[in-house]
Structure 1
Amino acid sequence: MTRITSCLMILGFLTTSASSAEPVSSAAWPNWMGPARDGISRETGWKTTWPEDGLPVAWSREIGIGFSSISMADGRLFTMGHVDGEEFVWCLNASNGEVLWSHHYPCGLNDNLHEGGPGSTPTVDGDHVYTVGKEGQLFCLNVQTGKVVWKVMLRADLDVPLPEWGFSSSPVIEGSQLILEAGRVVSYDKLTGKKNWESAPHEAGYGSAAIFPRGDNASMIATLDCDGLRITKLANGEQVAFKSWPSPFRTNSTTPIVDGKFIFISSAYNVGSGLFELDGDSLKEIYTSRDLRNHFNNSILWNGYLYGFDGNSNLGRVVQLTCMNFATGEVAWKQRGMGCGSLMIADGKLLILDEKGSLILANATPTGFEELSRSPFLTGRCWTIPVLLNKRIYGRNAAGHLVCVELPR
């Protein structure tokens, strides 16, 4: 059965109202990079020794072309995909993959040098789920039914052009605000869609915003667009500091990693990475390095070390998983053989999805790469970060095959 045929079969039994979802547990992964927006799960109680014939598949589902990751809350799984000229927001039962509702709208594929499709991840907050489409369709949907609560068309509202690879920033909810990097840093009221403030226009990036506190009790926003690293006040959008960080192909695609007053950014195409200290209204350089050049998937900071993929997707055979000291930029180790993959950290372990679809579990330690287990998982191009929740692993490939596997306990 082809992917399109499978998707059309799904669409045949969709309804406009939601079925009831039986929660797997109270644990949640409500947005891009998880509850703390750091790519780390503290979930325990699963075994690190996996079956020789691979992890058992609990369910799978065709969701359409794209690179949108998944978010989950109260037994519901949310993701996005492109099917035959339309973009879909899916709400699935996380237990069995049953479609609870979908929301869809016309949207171009934008298959520029890759399969295309949505790259933003839905954000769940209370009774609402927020999504960003490839062409800038910002929606607030009811979690239970998928009904549109409000919508904003970003290009018109912000007076910005369509980025070369479309809009990919995932919504960040902080208090009553929804924050996006979308050719401007912008804040909307999360309940009404009314715009609170917007920054001056700039060359859009493809990562998301990072929110962090400052010593004077004022929260800040760090964003990496294709002009550079930008620090903005959450309350009113006033720019506090800026560090030029241009990309030769306008492809700055990662989310800044903030640890106290230190901010780490990384870009591909031999630009590299940098650590900066926010000092008043300036960003003081601590170091720059070409040893960790993230193309589009973020590194993860764990116990003082960064773990991420160094290199470009078009040269996947030479991309290396890298462990680097956050404070100094010193490389602890590098490991080839996984292509331009992605990873998260769970219970102190690296959960890696390599570019060709294998799941790999390894210790998150600076002493060296220590593989613990691996399992077949997906086929085709795999650039989207996997998610471990409730002793299951969820992941998708670019073609839109979404799989859920069970971990041994």
Structure 2
Amino acid sequence: MGENSKQSPNDDPLTPAQGVERDLTAKRELTANKGAKAAQPLELAKKKFRWKPGAIIFLFGAAVLATIWFAGDWLFDSDTTVRGFALVVAGSTVCFALLLWWLFRSGLTWKSRIVGLLLVAGVLAGLKYSVRIEQFDGAMIPARVAWAWTPTAEQRAMAHFDEVGKRITESKTFELVVDGNDWPQFRGPRRDGDVRDVMLDPDWKMNPPKELWRHPVGLGWGSFAVVDDLAFTQEQRGPEEVVVAYESETGRQVWTYRVESRFTEAVGGDGPRATPTFDRGELFTLGAEGHLCCLDATNGREKWSRNILEDAAAPESEDPVENIEWGMAGSPLVTDDAVFVNPGGEQGRGVIRYDRATGEIVWANGNARASYTAPRIETLRGVEQLLIFDGAGISSFDPADGTLLWEYPWVNMPKVNAIQPIVSEDGTQVFISCSYGIGSALLNVAVEGGEWVVEPDYETSRLKIKFSDAIFRDGFLYAFDEAILACHDFETGQREWKKGRYGYGQVIAIGDHLLVQQEDPGDLALVAINPDKFEEVATFPALSGKTWNNPAFANGRLYCRNSEEAVCFELTVIDQSPEAAEELPELGEE
């Protein structure tokens, strides 16, 4: 035999049993090798998941948000509006960075990434359809949430409206005359929120406010106008804006005037914003979508009505001027023979004077975007002037013919100016203020060579009043610097004190005390009018929920409301001058 035919020791023939065993061993080895190869991609995939960058983004973002939230007073000088914007920007940036990491740097398969995004979208959709944000606070941060299937405050109030609609009472007064104890328009007879001739008993432990009545009201952010035995306000009831007259002593509904209109805005809330203006038996109201009307105050019958947004459009245009973001809010200003409003727009008709008796347009002027303040007439340098604080700043018009006398720009990012200008006692200066990181200015108004000249005596960012009007008393301003009560020297702008965290509340003055209504809940506080120090002397619970509405004080009674309910308290008065009961001059007269 040749060399190749020789057998090696390993070529020994196997028995059948040994052959079977060898085949089984070979199969087990092959299966094990395949399993190991299949496991390698999984191990590699696990190693590829780069979680550390995502964790760093999340932890860093959480630290930034926590710093903005807890150290916001120090970082932003207690400017909660700027803090709110900072939270939105920082939160959005963190979410966007996490999205980029998940899509492009996580190392997961595209299938896993898409599944993750779908899970997040599902959670967000579940929250959207199961949770309802009911209210935002003044810093535009959600303040109240509820399950989506629970009834809203408006829905809960509808049963009350249906019931009172069946038992409307007739007015007991057929001639309404304003006297010094009444509150006939926004922030009182002079629109300054200041009652000087009445002294309250500050001991609310011994003599607390006595509740006279309380009941649900429709959505709305205006206040009460109170004359004699009627209290007027505006509400949203379903698809209708409603002007309502209540008996001031009992809260019973007397009459309603209804207009098919509903202004909707998520952050500010739905419903009308303005407060009715009473003058010589007539009631003038402005709805959030521009419906201006003149009513008989004793029964609510319409005498005339207009839409100021339509009237502000160019004569040849069929489209009204675009409404501002949070709706028409400036309460109508009424004088002997005129009604003044500020619809805004760029058609030369941003400020309109109507004939009081007929509703016909007397003049129209102005090209600036409207804002949220009420018009007012003041005397500067001996000249009567109509002051309009709109989205572009403050402007002065001749109330007789609408001639623009002077203007001063005061603009913030959203073009929101929402407090009334304050004129110095000698009629030479005008104080203005806004929020959104801008602040306040005291303007010196003069006449040089027959021309009006306006220059700032100071501008400061240390007082930023968002939408709560200030009290001017004895050379000092008492106002909400964002969400904290503060006192500033009117002439210098110097801060005397800043204390009292009432949120974006409201403040009026009665005697020698500030009456403060907290934003949420709408509790009441008495604060001494004292530029030397902050002194809270009494508190009392009044309303639940967000309260942006100004309180009204008339005949020893305090009328408070928000978008859910209204309440009337009798306050203990310990002193009142005889002059307070005398009849006031007609509104608009000096």
TM range (shorter): over 0.9
Deviation at 1:5, TM superposition (A): 2.0
Letter in structure 2 aligned against 1:345: A
CA distance in 1, matches of 2:164, 2:249: 17
Shift of 1:223: 1.3
1:288 equivalent to 2:459? Answer yes
CA deviation after TM superposition for structure 1 residue 43, in Å: 4.2
- Supply the distance in 1 between the matched residues of 2:493 and 2:199 (Cα, whole angstroms): 33
Picking from 131, 134, 144, the partner of 2:288 is 134
CA distance in 2, matches of 1:128, 1:348: 33
State the partner residue of 2:551.
386
TM-score norm. by structure 1 comes to 0.93
Partner of 1:59: 213
* Deviation sequence 1:298-334 (CA, Å, 0-9, x none): 11111111111111xxxxxxx2101011111000100
> For the Cα contact (< 8 Å) 2:291–2:305, is it kept in 1?
yes
- Conserved? CA contact 1:25–1:75, under 8 Å: no
Q: How does 1:338-349 map to 2 (within 5 A)?
A: 338-349=502-513
How far apart in 2 are the matches of 1:287 and 1:406?
41
2:272 is equivalent to residue 118 of structure 1: yes
Per-residue deviation, 1:25? 9.6
2:463 and 2:475 map into 1 onto residues whose CA distance is 15
Are 1:19 and 2:186 counterparts?
Answer: no
Residues 300-319 of structure 1: pairs in structure 2 closer than 5 A: 300-311=471-482, 319=483
Q: Is contact 2:217-2:563 (8 Å) kept?
A: no
Instruction: Choose the corresponding residue for 1:198, options 364, 382, 385.
Output: 364
Asked if 2 retains the 8 angstrom alpha-carbon contact of 1:14 and 1:102, the reply is no
Corresponding letter in the other structure for 1:173: V
Give yes or no for contact 1:55–1:376 (8 Å, CA) kept in 2.
Answer: no
Q: Which amino acid aligns with 2:538?
A: S
User: Which among 297, 303, 316 is matched to residue 143 of structure 1?
Assistant: 297
Once structures 1 and 2 are overlaid, which stretch shifts more, 340-349 or 384-393? 384-393
Tell me what 2:490 maps to: 326
1:179 counterpart letter in structure 2: F
Tell me: CA distance 1:132–1:307, structure 2 relative to 1, closer, same or farther (3 Å).
same
Amino acid in structure 2 at the alignment position of 1:339: G
Worse overlay, 32-41 or 140-149: 32-41
Matched-pair identity in %: 29
- How do residues 190-269 of structure 1 correspond to structure 2 at under 5 angstroms? 190-216=356-382, 218-259=383-424, 260-269=427-436
Identify the residue that residue 30 of structure 1 maps to in structure 2.
Answer: 184
Q: What residue is the counterpart of 1:272 in the other structure? A: 439
Aligned 8 A contact 1:210 1:257 in 2: no
Residue 370 of structure 1: which of 535, 550, 556 is its match? 535
Distance 1:115 1:14 in 2: 28
Check 1:274–1:215 CA distance in 2 against 1; reply closer, same or farther (3 A cut): closer
Write out per-residue CA displacement over residues 50-96 of structure 1, whole angstroms, 9 at most, x where no aligned residue.
13695221011322011111111122111111111111101111111
CA contact (8 A) 2:392 2:409 kept: yes
Determine the structure 1 residue equivalent to 2:309: 155
Max Rg structure: 2
| Alpha-carbon distance in structure 1 between the residues aligned to 2:225 and 2:269 | 22
- Answer whether contact 1:213 1:219 (CA < 8 A) is retained: yes
Gaps of 5+ in 1: 312-318
Q: Which moved more, 1:1-10 or 1:120-129?
A: 1-10
Match of 2:329 among 164, 168, 180: 168
Q: CA RMSD in A?
A: 1.9
| Deviation at residue 3 of structure 1 after TM alignment | 2.3
2:223, 2:254 → 1: CA distance? 18
> TM-score, with normalisation over the residues of structure 2?
0.65
Query: 2:329, 2:373 within 8 Å by CA — same for their partners in 1?
Result: yes
User: Where do residues 35-114 of structure 1 align in structure 2 (5 Å cutoff)?
Assistant: 35-44=189-198, 46-51=200-205, 54-114=208-268
The higher-RCO structure (CA 8 Å, 6+ apart) is 1
Q: Normalized per residue, which structure has more strand? A: 1
Query: Larger helix proportion, structure 1 or 2?
Result: 2
Residue among 340, 347, 362 paired with 1:179: 340
CA distance in 1: counterparts of 2:364 and 2:216, whole angstroms: 37
CA distance in 2, matches of 1:162, 1:251: 13
Partner of 1:360: 525
**Cα pair 1:50 1:407 within 8 Å, conserved:** no
1:32–1:122: 8 Å Cα contact kept in structure 2? Answer: yes
Q: CA separation in 2, counterparts of 1:52 and 1:357?
A: 21
Equivalent residue of 2:531, what SS?
Answer: coil
What is the deviation of 1:112? 3.2
Moved more, 5-14 or 99-108: 5-14
Contact 1:63 / 1:80 at 8 angstroms: preserved in 2? no
Over residues 319-360 of structure 1, what are the superposed CA-to-partner deviations in whole Å (9 max), with x where a residue is unaligned? 210101111100010013211110000112100001121100
Structure-2 separation of matches of 1:336 and 1:269: 21
1:20: Cα distance to partner?
Answer: 1.4
Say whether residues 1:406 and 2:406 are aligned partners.
no
Letter in 1 for 2:374: S
Q: In the superposition, relative to structure 1, how do residues 9 and 51 fare at CA in structure 2: closer, same or farther (>3 Å)? A: farther
Structure 2 contact 353–364 (Cα < 8 Å) conserved: yes
AA aligned to 2:367 is P
For 2:508 and 2:336, locate their aligned partners in 1 and report how far apart those are by CA, in whole Å. 26
Q: 2:442 is aligned with what amino acid?
A: L
Q: Partner amino acid for 1:256?
A: P
- What displacement does 1:45 show? 5.0
User: 2:159 is paired with a residue of what secondary structure?
Assistant: helix
